[in-house]
Structure formats: structure tokens, C-alpha cells
Chain A
């Protein structure tokens, strides 16, 4: 079990650019989550996948954000036309098939939009 891995760890981009983050969940986990966290706040839910199906998406997620999990394994989160307000830590988590399984987080991708 290598845990949840995220890439890159840090990303600095200029406003208006597109960015893409990758998450590799724990291999036997079928549930995958993306959260966003800013300083002094708890993680804020963005989207949820069960296998390859995106079953839930936060109303906070504008149409500039899109996530995929094409084969039910790794996932990508893309932000188009980045804005300074997108600067945050983007956290990916996965969990197992049993009910009430806890989330296991990756190290996160810290995005800075200049």
C-alpha cells in the first residue's frame, strides 16, 4: 500500500492559464474525492467518484473546473482560466468499499495563481 499520491506537490501559474492535477488513489479503493482547502479552513468538498462515475459535484465548482477518472483508477482535476481566488491546497482522498470507510488523503497540490 503506497497510499494516495498527488502530482505535482506545488504549482505556480499565471492568472488565465490552465492547470491539471493528478491523483493516484490507494489501488483497492473505488471511491475518490477532491477537496480544496484554504488557510484556516477545513477541506471543502469539490467532487466525488465511485469507480469511473462522477456521482457528486459541489455547487461551488464553477464550469472552469472539471474532473475525470476515466478508468476508475487515477483521477485528474483541471482548472481552466485560473483566477487568483483559485489559490489553495487541492487535496485528493480515497476510501474503500465498505460503508463508513474513512478517507485517506494524499499530500495535496498547492496552487498559487499570480
Chain B
């Protein structure tokens, strides 16, 4: 079983739709959680950190469920520019930061 698992997608949704991704992790001692965005043939870029109480940044909302060991990302009012691969990242220490395989999102006009 992978340490961090994501649905690879692709998710293909119309512009303006709401879309949600989940990610599960296996290490219950994990301490840090992030969502990264990666465009084709580019480096990953931090989208947002995920905090225990959940957090929101504009159209993006991240949630953490420690009991069930998953994190989620919700994108509201999706834009064409949201098309990318979204990477779930979980850290259990400074040296152990694991990336999921990514979920591909495609927004259609």
C-alpha cells in the first residue's frame, strides 16, 4: 500500500463547477499536510498548507481528518486556469515528506 494515495483522475468538469479531491495517508504520526499544484512539465508549486481546523484560500478549501487519515481539497467556481495536476503531500518529519501520484484536473469551457 502506498503511503499517500490519490485518485489519479482525470477529472473533467465544466467551468464554474465545484470539484473535490481526496487523499489518504497511512502514517498516523504524520504532522504536516499540503496541496501542491503542478502544470505540465513544470515544477510543483505550493497551493496551500492544510491545518487541523481546515482552511480556505479564496475558491480553495482544504480539510484534514486525522481520525480517518485523509485530507481533501475543494475547488469552487472552477476556472480554465485551474487545469493542472494536484499533488497531495504528507510529512511525518523534516526528512520524510511524501508526495501522492497526483490527481489530474481538466476544466472545459
Identify which of A42, A95, A99 contacts B99 (C-beta below 8 A).
A42
Cβ-based interface call for B101 (8 A): yes
Cβ-based interface call for A22 (8 A): no
**Chain B residues within an 8 Å CB radius of A108:** 43
**Chain B residues within an 8 Å CB radius of A45:** 96-99
- Which of A48-56, A60-68, A71-79, A80-88 participates in binding chain B? A48-56
Q: A105 with B87: in contact, given A40-B101, A42-B99 (CB under 8 Å)?
A: no
CA of A102 to CA of B48, assembled, Å: 9
CA of A95 to CA of B34, assembled, Å: 13
**Chain A residues within an 8 Å CB radius of B91:** 100
Residue interface mask A18-44, B partner, CB < 8 A = 1: 000000000000010101000011111
Q: Which of B44, B91, B98, B101 is the most central at the interface, judged by chain A CB atoms within 10 Å of its CB?
A: B44
Q: Are B99 and A31 in contact (CB under 8 A)?
A: no
Residue interface mask A102-114, B partner, CB < 8 A = 1: 1111111000000
**What is the interface size of chain B, counting residues whose CB is below 8 A from a CB of the partner?**
23
Q: Are B46 and A33 in contact (CB under 8 A)?
A: no
Closest residue of chain B to A57 (Cβ to Cβ) is: B95
CA of A102 to CA of B96, assembled, Å: 12
**What is the interface size of chain A, counting residues whose CB is below 8 A from a CB of the partner?**
24
Residue interface mask B3-45, A partner, CB < 8 A = 1: 0100010000000000000000000000110100000001111
Count of inter-chain pairs, beta carbons less than 8 A? 54
**Chain A residues within an 8 Å CB radius of B44:** 43, 91, 103, 105
Identify which of B43, B94, B100, B102 contacts A31 (C-beta below 8 A).
B94
CA of A40 to CA of B46, assembled, Å: 19
Q: Are A106 and B101 in contact (CB under 8 A)?
A: no
Q: Which of B34, B42, B89, B94 is the most central at the interface, judged by chain A CB atoms within 10 Å of its CB?
A: B94
**Chain A residues within an 8 Å CB radius of B49:** 100, 102
Binding site for A on B (CB under 8 A): 4, 8, 31-32, 34, 42-46, 49, 87, 89, 91, 94-102
